Amino acid sequence: MDLGLIAQFLANGIVLGTMYALVAVGFTLFFGVLDVIKFSHGDVLMLGTFAGFTVWLGLEAVGIINPWLQLVVVLIASMVVTAAVGAAIAKWLVLPLKKAPPLNTLLVTLMLGTAIREAVRLFYPDGSNPKAFPALLPDASIDLGGFALRADSVILVVAGLLLIAGLNMMLNRTRLGLAIRAVAQDEETAQIMGINYMLVVLATFAIGSGVAAFAGVMNGLYYNEINFGMGLLLGLIGFSAAIVGGLGNLYGAILGGFLFAGLQVVGSALLPFASAYKDVFAFAVVIAIMAWKPTGLIPERASERV
Amino acid sequence: MKHNINRVLHSFGLMTTTVAGLGFGSVALAADTVELGFIGPLTGGVSSVGLGGRNSAELAVALRNADPDSKYHYELQVLDDECKPNVGVQVATKLAANNDVVGAVAHYCSAVAMGTVDVYHRFGLPMTVWGAVLPDITYGNDYPEITRVNGTMINQNEVAAKFMTEQGYKTWAVIHDTTDYGKGHNKYFSTYLAENGGEILSSFGVTSDQQDFTAELTQIKQGNPDVIFFAGLTPIGVRVRQQMDKLGIDAVFQGVSGIKSDAFFDGLGGDLAEGSLTFLEGAPAEKLPGGEYFLSEYEKAGYDRSPEAYGPFAFAAMDLLIDAVETVGPDREKIVEYMGTVENHESITGPISFDANGQNTVARITSYVAQDGAWVVWEDSEYADGTRSLPGMK
């Protein structure tokens, strides 16, 4: 195997890893703050991507064709929609069930995800067919000895990593971040200290969902295609990545995302049998890791071990 | 009303003339409705083909209903199999369990047809396939209920392998989906390619909803094949072609009949699709014996989408089924018997003759190339006359 080939695999893996990490970050934020699993995450992401796509169609219709302007508007639209939907789910579905067993939250969001998915399939015009997502990024590429490095992939990865870094800084350096961490650590004490609990929870869900929308648009730009089912596998992979990395830990989510992408690439590149099994391979390794480290590779510091 | 009276006249002869004239015509009308079924993928990634097939089948029914000489009034039940075997079995059972339905024209997706043939057999419902190409649908069983008007992937791949090697290509990489459809194409194409001296460097099975093909394509790029042979349907065909470009692979993209749809261009845009190849049994509608008639009627009916590649077959299959009802009456058993005897039956796709397995022997296969955002018959294209050339062609 020559260097160009390895570089190509590496590049593919990094793009995928960034996408998975962005989704996993949402799972980890929600769990950190409320100790809940929100299974509709992937489908909210899909909804946001479709919202962005619709806005793009609108922009085309009114004649705004500058790709950079389009990109910014599409990104803002889809992130705002997802953030709003995420916050709404927190307010009306997750918080009211706070006293109920966690299984109920999991089930409710699981069903909500299916409802969102089917709603897009049935009610979005021609929603069951894949849509051609526009290529808004420059498509220049440099050929480095059998390895095509594309400008759009580089931009996507850099933007995705910057977003994660920004999120990390927000959590560690700002008052909102402090409040989120306080609520995550001890909800009652945080409330006594005067933190607006409801506001912090809603903000967390809005931020987590908005980040996922970025992953959705990134997915659309990378593959130039979106469909109503795209959130299902992305959500599942993001969830697994968050668990493997250590639920409730931001670095764990990032590690998990890249690990999963790495496993997929290894699964299809190195294994002798057909690449149709790459997801089987990746998920099987995840199972093995969970058996080895039940709380994930980087466990939440304040995790309550039983 | 007049037509009904005429019909009764024909059937019962002179003696009944007075009776019918006295007002029994309306009774005859009520008894004369015959229900038929159509199943295809009306939603999902390949729905454009399914809807084109449905429109064509509807057209066959509408034309016959407008024909004063037809003995019955036909009603079409349309069901959606979503190109999913589990859904297909459900809707096939629903259709077959309805005793009012005497016959069906069904399925574009081979994996679905493979799952449903047993259902039709169990209920004794005559079913004619209008689009699925897996040989086993007719050859894998001895059910007299199952017939097929379109050809199989055996003929398709025989021609494809010969055509491609004649263009001077030597090496291939294969990506096929792991359904019966993709695996079947892979099997027959590999066999015929070996006979023609082509070499397959690498082969990958992928799931039919896979999103990312960069890992497979990266490995393919390593071998630097002349052609990438893709055996699957339009949605993932679009993804594979798109990601080939992202990785800078400039091999020829050779598909199978599953990508011969206008949706291929909708998903890709003209530039990337340019120079892709595909093969389809039969010929384009306008070149078929009854093609001109079919297309003009289709246009007159005012459908908002094209009949797509298999529309003429759906039309021919429905027309054949109606002919059967006209000849032997609305009776499942008799129709099955009738289908067993079909030989040189006139249709817009050319004469239909079923062999012992109910397979129409379509000899003609047409090669297509994507040119300026449309599938063009190879012989008529600018690629054949040398104005343009495919990647790697000398």
According to the model, what pLDDT value does residue B19 have? 41
A68 is a domain residue: yes
CA–CA separation, B45 vs B49, rounded Å? 9
Share of chain B above pLDDT 70, in %: 91
Mutate which of B200, B218, B233, B262 to disrupt the A interface (most A C-beta within 10 Å)? B218
CATH number of residue B80's parent domain: 3.40.50.2300
**B246 and B371 part of one domain:** yes
Residue pair B26/B1 in contact (Cβ under 8 Å)? The answer is yes
Given an 8 Å threshold on Cβ–Cβ distance, is B48 in contact with A229?
Answer: no
**B160 and B120 part of one domain:** no
Residue B14 pLDDT exceeds 60: no
Q: Which of B328, B298, B302, B330 is closest to B315 using CA atoms? A: B298
* pLDDT-based confidence at residue B26 (cuts at 50, 70, 90): very low
Q: Which two tokens stand for residue B331?
A: 């009776």
Looking at residues B57-86, what average pLDDT do you find? Answer: 94
At B217-270, the pLDDT tens digits run 988 988 899 999 999 998 889 999 989 988 889 899 999 998 988 888 887 877
B322 is a domain residue: yes
Residue B353 pLDDT exceeds 80: yes
Domain count within chain B: 2
| Mean pLDDT, chain B, integer | 87
Determine phi and psi for B164, rounding to 5 degrees.
-65, -40
A142 is a domain residue: yes
A47 is a domain residue: yes
Asked if A138 is an interface residue toward chain B (Cβ–Cβ < 8 A), one would say no
Of B214, B222, B242, the CB nearest to A225: B242
CB-count burial class (<10 Å; 0-12, 13-18, 19+) for B350: buried
Its pTM stands at: 0.75
B330 is a domain residue: yes
| Mean pLDDT, chain A, integer | 88
A298 is a domain residue: no
Among chain B residues, the shortest Cα distance to A8 is held by B218
Residue A233 with chain B: CB contacts under 8 Å: 209, 211
Tell me the residue range of the domain where A202 lies.
Answer: 3-292
Domain count within chain A: 1
Asked if A130 is an interface residue toward chain B (Cβ–Cβ < 8 A), one would say yes
Looking at residues B276-297, what average pLDDT do you find? Answer: 88
Given an 8 Å threshold on Cβ–Cβ distance, is B239 in contact with A223?
Answer: yes
A65 is a domain residue: yes
Residue A267 with chain B: CB contacts under 8 Å: 215
CA distances from B354 to A91, B9, B147, B351, B359 (A): 64, 34, 7, 10, 5
B388 is a domain residue: no
According to the model, what pLDDT value does residue A273 have? 60
According to the model, what pLDDT value does residue B30 have? 47
According to the model, what pLDDT value does residue A201 have? 93
CATH number of residue A30's parent domain: 1.10.3470
Q: What is the DSSP string of chain A?
A: --HHHHHHHHHHHHHHHHHHHHHHHHHHHHHHHHS---TTHHHHHHHHHHHHHHHHHHHHHHT---HHHHHHHHHHHHHHHHHHHHHHHIIIIIGGGTTS-HHHHHHHHHHHHHHHHHHHHHHSTTTTS-B-----S---EEE-SS-EEEHHHHHHHHHHHHHHHHHHHHHHHSHHHHHHHHHHH-HHHHHHTT--HHHHHHHHHHHHHHHHHHHHHHHHHHHS-B-TTHHHHHHHHHHHHHHHH-TT-HHHHHHHHHHHHHHHHHHHHT-SS-GGGHHHHHHHHHHHHHHH-TT-SS--TT----
Looking at residues B270-292, what average pLDDT do you find? Answer: 87
CA angle B349, B352, B356 (to 5 degrees): 145
According to the model, what pLDDT value does residue A300 have? 66
B21 is a domain residue: no
Which residues does chain A have with pLDDT short of 70? Answer: 1, 145-146, 272-276, 300-306
Tell me the residue range of the domain where B376 lies.
Answer: 154-281+366-380
According to the model, what pLDDT value does residue A274 have? 55
**B89 and B214 part of one domain:** no
A299 is a domain residue: no
CA angle A277, A279, A282 (to 5 degrees): 110
**B309 and B342 part of one domain:** yes
Q: What is the distance in angstroms between the Cα of A19 and the nearest Cα belonging to chain B?
A: 12
Residue B45 with chain A: CB contacts under 8 Å: 128-130, 227
Residue B43 pLDDT exceeds 90: no
Give me the total of CB pairs closer than 8 Å, taking one residue from chain A and one from chain B: 87
Residue B297 pLDDT exceeds 80: yes
Interface ipTM above 0.90: no
**B133 and B213 part of one domain:** no
To which residue do tokens 């059972």 refer? Answer: B93
A223 is a domain residue: yes
CB-count burial class (<10 Å; 0-12, 13-18, 19+) for B365: buried
Given an 8 Å threshold on Cβ–Cβ distance, is B238 in contact with A230?
Answer: no
CA–CA separation, A104 vs B302, rounded Å? 51
Residue B215 pLDDT exceeds 50: yes
